[in-house]
Structure 1
Amino acid sequence: MTAKIERVAAIRWIQAQMADYGLTMEELKAAGCFEPPPPQPPPPPAPPAVVCYRNAEGLTWDGEGEMPSWLKRAVNAGQSVGFYRVG
């Protein structure tokens, strides 16, 4: 079925339901049938990232994705990544 045919079928079904139950447009409006739907609740917050590496300035990295520039600079200067490991 095309979208246009489905739409026509849906309208006819609604009209039939209104006739079967004796509903009027005014009753449907009063019941809030034409109000916009309520907004969806926001998604729950993401869990905090687990800190795996931290430097003396408090900059952190969770070990996921690309290594941050502060840690790259330290490694390039000869420091081991393990030096910054937390825990």
Structure 2
Amino acid sequence: MDERKRESIVAYLRRRMAEFAIEPEDIATSIAADQARLREVRFRDASGNTWDGKGAPPQWVVQATSAGQSLEHFAIDGGSTRDPGKRTGAEWRNDPFAGTRLATVRREEIEATRAGTGR
């Protein structure tokens, strides 16, 4: 972003803050409250929906549990430092398809191509 565009956005934000009587401390307080709320999250789905486990469950929890999914599936480990948006490697030792045709089709195709049979 170039400097003029940045300055224009900052000026716009300052005008809007003055218009609504918003102080920088108000924004800092709001950000701190959002961060505290995110720390309280106990359940998260693959889409990023969250729930703190208090009050009525949100629609995504109701739908998932109605479909037979356990609530524990969505539990967040409080001590986890893993970024929820970052994918991790697969744990192949726990692969339920290990040793079946589903697990070996791709390997067989690669080996056939290397051997020149080109299936």
Normalising to structure 2: TM-score of the pair? 0.35
Larger radius of gyration: 1
Normalising to structure 1: TM-score of the pair? 0.47
Instruction: Tell me which protein shows more helix as a share of its residues.
Output: 2
